[in-house]
Structure 1
Amino acid sequence: MAKDDLPEPKRRNRTLNIADVLSGALDPVLKKRGFASRDIITHWAVMAPKPYDQVAIPDKLTWPRGERSAEGATLLLRCVPGHALAIAHEGPKIAAAINRYFGFLLVSAVKLSAEPFTPGSGQKAQNPTQPSQSVIAKVGAQVAEVADDDLREALRTLGHALSSRSGRK
């Protein structure tokens, strides 16, 4: 066989969609929580009635023992503590909205999970630090000759922010 007759090797350095990469890691975890797919989690904001789309998230699907198609699953929701009573009362409405979204009986009951949900808990708090007097003087000297007042102030703010970033390392 000549060198030109060999099949071209498959590229391994191709770009991948982040959803495809994460699906391999997320799917086993979601299956342990009773979810067959990511749809109920990724589309929660669309399928859940207002305001429950903002104050609750799906935690787990518990399937009844025996045949799965006979009955729907019980959906456990994590919710903001102040909304627990409302969600417990509106459980049939939430289940109906989810079933309407999927087009078949998926959820027969909605219950509350023991773990609370805090919206925005993944966001980091920004703690602005005040620059030292030496940094203020150094940045002020560097931007002193800028004629435009707005540009000078913007550069001063940028200089203070950059100096506080380098100080954190």
Structure 2
Amino acid sequence: MAKPESEPKRRNRTVGVAEALGRTLDPFLKKRGFASRDILDHWSAIAPAPYDAVTFPERLAWPRGEKSAEGATLYLRCAPGHALAAQHEGPRIAQAVNRYFGYLLVSDVRLSAEPFSPHSDARNHKDHKPSEATRTKIDGALAQVKDDDLRDALRALGHAVMGRSDNNKR
């Protein structure tokens, strides 16, 4: 007897992006050796300074075939110029990770061959300028808004959104 397909569970509340995405990244993270996102999400709190800003975990490699193996090898991406110090401080980084989790998770720290730039997540955003027609359209739509601060905020939002679509048409 086949079960009827059920509708997705409704939450009836506003949810954040992280909660909405839920566990979508978990299969990818499991391939990289991570059981959860905790080490990635909290790396800045886990790693000792300055390694919290110049390194980032890439993967955990567990020993194969050993049932009593304790601890994995943590591979870190490192910013150029910090590799020697990070390699030298590997035991201290491993100790900080183990202290955070409360058990022996990492027995060794090695550096990955792939570079890490500390601000790689910060993208270069272009300044999007809306066309004159778009500005006129936005000002016309906001003519009835009486609150000056609200009108200015909505105008800035309109310019940002409409300016991007104007630039994409070019």
User: What TM-score, normalized by structure 1, do the two folds share?
Assistant: 0.69
Residue of structure 2 in register with 1:12 after alignment: 8
- Equivalences for residues 12-161 of structure 1 within 5 A: 12-15=8-11, 18-19=18-19, 21-23=21-23, 25-128=24-127, 158=156
Distance 1:165 1:41 in 2: 32
Alpha-carbon offset, residue 161 of structure 1? 5.6
Q: What secondary structure does 1:112 align onto?
A: strand
The whole-number CA distance in structure 1 between the counterparts of 2:22 and 2:128 is 36
Off by >4 Å, runs of 4+ in structure 1: 129-132, 157-163
Deviations 1:119-155 (A, max 9, x none): 33233312236677x67xx79xx9xxxxxxx99xx69
* Letter of the structure 2 residue corresponding to residue 58 of structure 1: P
Per-residue CA deviation, residues 83-106 of structure 1 (Å, 9 max, x unaligned), is: 111100100000011111112111
In 2: Cα distance, 1:52 partner to 1:32 partner: 24
Is contact 2:59-2:74 (8 Å) kept?
Answer: yes
Would you say the 8 A contact 2:78–2:117 is kept in 1? Answer: yes
Q: Deviations over 1:24-49 (max 9, x none)?
A: x2221111111122222122111111
User: What residue in structure 2 maps to residue 5 of structure 1?
Assistant: none
Moved more, 87-96 or 42-51: 42-51
**Per the alignment, in what secondary structure is the counterpart of residue 82 of structure 1?**
coil
Q: Distance in 2 between matches of 1:13 and 1:31?
A: 26
TM-score, normalised to structure 2's length? 0.68
Tell me the secondary structure at the aligned position of residue 115 of structure 2.
coil
- Quote the offset at 1:21 in angstroms: 3.4
Unmatched 5+ residue regions in structure 1?
1-9, 143-149
RMSD: 3.8
How many pairs were matched up? 154
Specify which structure has the higher proportion of helix: 1
Identical columns (%)? 56
Gaps of 5+ in 2: 1-5, 141-147
